[in-house]
Amino acid sequence: MAEQSRKFGWAEERERRLEYLDELPGKDHHERFETLNRTSKLFSANGQELHNHLATFVGTPKHVRDLPDDFEDEAIRLLHNYIASVATLRDIQRATHRKVWPTRIPEAERNGKDDHRTIWEVQVYTPKVTDMFGDDDIKFLFDLRNCTLHHTVPVLSIGTRWRHVPPAPVEWINSVELKRDELEKFSKWTKPALRFIETQEKNVAFLPLLEKYSTRAREFSGWFWDQVKEAVFQEVNEFHSKSNEFRGWLSEELVEPDWDDTTGNPVPGSLRRNRAVAHAKRCEFGTTGWGGIAVDSAGVATVGESDWEPLPPVRKYRKLNRD
């Protein structure tokens, strides 16, 4: 690439380097981490919005008759968003680990042609899921998503009541719950979900369940992130190193002077100063993407070669434009 770099102009060199970075395995893994991060933020934001909305009633001295007319509709919308993000988080994790550990289980162990489970999924992922999300109430939450998609949106019971268990004082209770008789109209609950529903009385209290699941989901996401990170660290590190080196070169190439707002002209000496700052930042990062020491999976270091050669010298002069 170095010999070829001398034959191309700056624009061609830039495009060639971008194409090279796009083809690195670490780029795909980097994007998977970004997707996981976005999905986790979506899940957390939906949970927080639902919590904040319900907290304007539950745990307050407000009476149900004082709620705004749209309180129930908004609660249903936010609950729907939360349930959907539960499934999205699970689906993105599944898609990720099947790319990172793609080896499928032997054909003899598959449950039909649509069984895409992998060895890592069966041996590591599924046992962890069962350990953290195998409780009947969490299974109910997973099934609630199917109920919402294929049967009806949840129907809420919202009320205020007083409870007195002597010698304790009278207790004011505001509740937002799911109507059990409406849930039972759905015919495709799994056995664990049905067991949970049967433990409930007239209505199904879901607020404690949301808190329980959200806590476990955060813990599980941290575990899953670490598993993927350990598996693809070298590829991602290579992509980040080469990308950062390229960005340093690009920043120095594209540095501009400060502009005088009055005259519209460059401020004298500012181009040289800004270029020096960009060059210093580039030097601080250094060069790690080519011709360095490679460490294999066993931790053995060897002097390796790479087709990512040193970037060409920065142009000393170029035409400056200001829109």
C-alpha to C-alpha distances, 79 to 52, 153, 288, nearest whole angstrom: 12, 9, 48
At residue 318, the pLDDT reads: 64
- Please tell me whether residues 34 and 151 are part of one structural domain: yes
Tell whether 313 is covered by a domain. no
**Overall average pLDDT of the 110-125 stretch:** 95
- In degrees and rounded to multiples of 5, residue 80 shows phi and psi of -60, -45
Centre a 10 Å sphere on the Cβ of residue 88 and count the other Cβ atoms it contains: 16
Residues 131, 243: one domain? Answer: no
pLDDT band, residue 3 (cuts 50/70/90): very low
Band (pLDDT 50/70/90 cuts) for residue 205 is: confident
Higher pLDDT among residues 187 and 170, named by residue = 187
Residue 298: Cβ within 10 Å count: 5
Please check whether residues 82 and 117 belong to one and the same domain.
yes
* Among 82, 123, 58, 73, residue whose Cα is nearest residue 213: 82
User: Which is more confident, 284 or 24?
Assistant: 24
CA distance 277 to 300: 37
Same domain, 13 and 129: no
Residue 321 domain flag: no
In this structure, are residues 13 and 219 in contact, taking their beta carbons and an 8 Å threshold? Answer: no
pLDDT, residue 317, reads 63
Q: Do 47 and 192 share a structural domain?
A: yes
Please state the rounded mean pLDDT for residues 284-292: 65
User: pLDDT above 90 covers what percent of the chain?
Assistant: 66
Q: Position 13: which residue type?
A: E
Does residue 308 belong to any structural domain of this protein? no
CA distance 222 to 216: 10
What would the mean pLDDT of 144-151 be, rounded to a whole number?
A: 88
Indicate the residue type of 139: K
pLDDT higher than 70, residue 102: yes
CA 37 to centroid of chain Cα atoms? 2
pLDDT band at 38 (very low <50, low <70, confident <90, very high): very high
Say if CB 152 and CB 118 are below 8 A apart: no
Instruction: Determine the pLDDT at residue 8.
Output: 59
Q: Where do the DSSP E strands lie in 144-298?
A: 156-163, 171-179, 203-204, 293-295
Strand 171-179 to 203-204 pairing: antiparallel
The burial class, CB within 10 Å (0-12 / 13-18 / 19+), for 267 is: middle
The pLDDT value given to residue 309: 83
User: CA-CA distance, 36 to 111, in Å (whole number)?
Assistant: 28
- Examine the domain organization and report whether 18 and 33 are in the same domain: no
Binned at pLDDT 50, 70 and 90, residue 2 comes out as very low
Domain that holds residue 284: 2-22+234-303
Residues 57 and 9 in one domain: no
Residues 100 and 215 in one domain: yes
* Cis bond upstream, residue 127 (ω within 30): no
Mean per-residue pLDDT, 274-290:
81
| 80, 215: one domain | yes
Tell me how far the alpha carbon of residue 268 is from its chain's centroid.
Answer: 46
What would the mean pLDDT of 281-295 be, rounded to a whole number?
68
Do 54 and 174 fall within a single domain? yes
Looking at residue 307, its pLDDT comes to 77
Query: Do residues 98 and 213 share a domain?
Result: yes
- The yes-or-no verdict on residue 5 having pLDDT over 50 is no
138: number of Cβ within 10 Å: 20
Three-state secondary structure along 258-310?
Answer: CECCCCCCECCCHHHHHHHHHHHHHHHHCCCCCCCEEECCCCCEEECCCCCCC
- Helix (H/G/I), strand (E/B), else coil: 2: helix
Task: From 210, 226, 242, give the residue that closes a domain.
Answer: 226
Instruction: Kindly report the average pLDDT of the chain as a whole number.
Output: 88
289 inside domain: yes
Q: Which residue has the tokens 């829109």?
A: 323
pLDDT recorded at residue 311: 84
